[in-house]
């Protein structure tokens, strides 16, 4: 039996998405900027997709959606683009606030800005991985231009109090961005009711193709300077001929996610809670993240009482036909502790032990039951060989 439990890493394409992409590849392959009928067909498909993506987050206008090549690019566009805009206006590096649990597509651009002389504040999180709004209040400075806090943390599942953080930031006069890549399509997002200026989306987390994403920009927000310049596509904010098949796939995926969300989210929450409860009698597995304010499809643990790394468990589970992921990244063969678990207060050793099991459209209750059983068996075998003194 093969069970995929890594829907936070990527999701399989929906058949409807494949059909729409195939049509785009065969009938809408023109350059959307061309003035002839081939271009018009591509442009029509592009604008329909913009509408579909806008609807997923209740954006006030389709124009507030800027298509990018993915969530990473959307994050980079807002971080680098707003910094460049502020630099152009003031002539000097200013101040940016992020959280200590950002995805690398925010953490890295922040490091890059730091090297260029920007002041970066990384907001500490509590042991559940949540930012305390009071900390943000204390961190805001006169020269803070941008605050970026991840909406749903990809490694530990914690949802941040985005509405409070956004309201504080805007009341202070700074811009607020959230990386909603893991939240979109899984929980309702209404950007007209949220005090946010920018929001990042990615197609391949919602059963669309890889290589498409979007940045939502509130209609009267300060615009980032483009990081890719050229032909001036996407309102001049992201040059380059639009990848119509990918964007069409993204649009269809967004539309279907919106339609199915009310039932699918409840189903996932039920499966997620079932998973946690099946493993609650396994003391070696300590749940990570916030148990209540949590992504609906997200199950995660660390193993503080063992020497086992997340990578070892991923390999063992893979041998048993189950695809899960480890929190920490592997660089040049060296396993480094997860910065997210470290920020939550775990030791370096424990921060190498994180695992994540993320559920999706194809996950059934039987998959959850079987995976929980296999995980227990794998764990007890691994513990018996690695640390004979410990029992599961």
Ligand X SMILES: Cc1ncc(COP(=O)(O)O)c(C=O)c1O
- The single residue listed with the structure tokens 């999180």 is 125
For residue 125, state whether it binds ligand X (rule: CB under 6 A). Answer: no
Strand-pairing partners, residue 3, are 322
Contact flag: residue 155 with ligand X (CB under 6 A):
no
What gap in Å lies between CA 322 and CA 313, rounded to an integer? 10
As measured in angstroms, the least distance from the Cβ of 366 to ligand X is: 27
Single out the segment in contact with ligand X by CB under 6 A; choices: 177-185, 260-268, 269-277, 319-327. 177-185
Q: Which of residues 199-218 bind ligand X (CB under 6 A)?
A: 202, 204, 213
Among 42-50, 67-75, 284-292, 317-325, the segment contacting ligand X (CB under 6 A): 67-75
Query: Which residue do the tokens 């468990």 mark?
Result: 313
State which residue, 70 or 339, has the beta carbon closest to ligand X: 70
> From the CB of 252, what's the least distance to ligand X, in Å?
17
Give a three-class secondary structure readout of 193-245: CCCCCEEEEEHHHCCCCCCCEEEEECCCCCCCCCCCCCCCCHHHCCCCCCCHH
Among 76, 154, 178, 350, indicate the residue that binds ligand X (CB under 6 A): 154
Stretch that binds ligand X, among 65-73, 139-147, 218-226, 298-306 (CB under 6 A): 65-73
**Position of tokens 């018996």?**
384
330 is catalytic: yes
Catalytic residue among 1, 259, 319, 330: 330
Alpha helices in the chain (DSSP H): 15-27, 37-56, 71-90, 104-115, 133-139, 162-172, 244-278, 310-319, 339-343, 365-386
Which residue's CB atom is positioned nearest to ligand X?
71
Number of residues that bind ligand X (CB under 6 A): 14
| Selection from 129, 96, 92, 135 nearest residue 112 by Cα | 96
Which residues is 96 bridged to in the sheet?
Answer: 120, 146
Q: Which is nearer to ligand X, 179 or 367 (CB)?
A: 179
| CB of residue 17 to ligand X, shortest distance in Å | 15
Q: Of these, 52, 72, 309, 342, which contacts ligand X (CB under 6 A)?
A: 72
- Name the one range near ligand X by CB under 6 A: 128-136, 174-182, 256-264, 303-311: 174-182
* Closest approach of ligand X to the CB of residue 73, in Å: 7
Rounded distance, CA 183 to CA 178, Å?
10
175 with 198: CB under 8 angstroms? yes
Q: In the set 182, 233, 288, 309, which binds ligand X (CB under 6 A)?
A: 182
How far is Cα 297 from Cα 157, in angstroms, rounded to an integer? 8
Q: Residue 71 or residue 245: which is nearer to ligand X going by CB?
A: 71
Separation of CA 134 from chain center:
24
Name which position in 28, 41, 43, 70 contacts ligand X (CB under 6 A). 70
Task: Provide the binding-site residues for ligand X, judged by CB under 6 A.
Answer: 70-72, 75, 103, 105, 150, 154, 179, 181-182, 202, 204, 213
User: Which sequence positions are flagged as catalytic?
Assistant: 330
């Amino acid at each position: 039996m093969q069970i995929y439990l890594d829907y936070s890493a990527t999701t399989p394409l929906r058949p409807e998405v494949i059909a729409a992409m195939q049509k785009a590849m065969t009938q809408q392959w023109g350059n959307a900027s061309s003035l002839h009928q081939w271009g018009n067909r591509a442009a029509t498909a592009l604008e329909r997709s913009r509408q579909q993506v806008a609807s997923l987050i209740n954006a006030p206008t389709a124009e507030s959606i800027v298509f990018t090549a993915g969530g990473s690019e959307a994050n980079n566009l807002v971080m680098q683009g707003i910094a460049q805009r502020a630099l152009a206006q003031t002539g000097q590096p200013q101040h940016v606030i992020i959280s200590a649990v950002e995805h690398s597509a925010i953490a890295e651009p922040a490091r890059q800005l730091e090297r260029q002389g920007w002041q970066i504040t990384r907001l500490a999180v509590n042991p559940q991985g949540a930012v305390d709004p009071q900390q943000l209040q204390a961190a805001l400075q006169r020269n803070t231009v941008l605050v970026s806090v991840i909406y749903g943390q990809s490694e530990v599942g914690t949802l941040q109090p985005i509405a409070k953080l956004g309201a504080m930031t805007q009341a202070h006069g700074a811009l607020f961005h959230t990386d909603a890549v893991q939240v979109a399509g899984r929980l309702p997002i209404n950007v007209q009711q949220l005090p946010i200026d920018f929001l990042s989306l990615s197609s391949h987390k919602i059963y669309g193709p890889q290589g498409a994403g979007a940045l939502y920009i509130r209609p009267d927000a300060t615009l980032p300077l483009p990081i890719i310049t050229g032909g001036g596509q996407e309102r001049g904010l992201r040059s380059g001929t639009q990848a119509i098949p990918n964007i069409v796939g993204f649009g269809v995926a967004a539309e279907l996610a919106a339609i199915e969300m009310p039932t699918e989210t409840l189903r996932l929450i039920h499966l997620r809670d079932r998973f946690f409860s099946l493993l609650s009698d396994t003391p070696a597995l300590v749940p990570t993240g916030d148990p209540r304010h949590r992504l609906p499809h997200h199950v995660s643990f660390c193993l503080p009482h063992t020497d086992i790394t997340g990578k070892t468990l991923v390999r063992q589970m893979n041998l048993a036909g189950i695809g899960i992921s480890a929190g920490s990244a592997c660089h040049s063969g060296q396993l480094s502790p997860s910065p997210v678990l470290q920020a939550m207060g775990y030791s370096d050793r424990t921060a190498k032990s994180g695992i994540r099991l993320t559920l999706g459209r194809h996950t059934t209750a039987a998959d959850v039951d079987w995976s929980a059983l296999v995980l227990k068996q794998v764990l007890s075998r691994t513990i018996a060989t690695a640390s004979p003194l410990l029992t599961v």
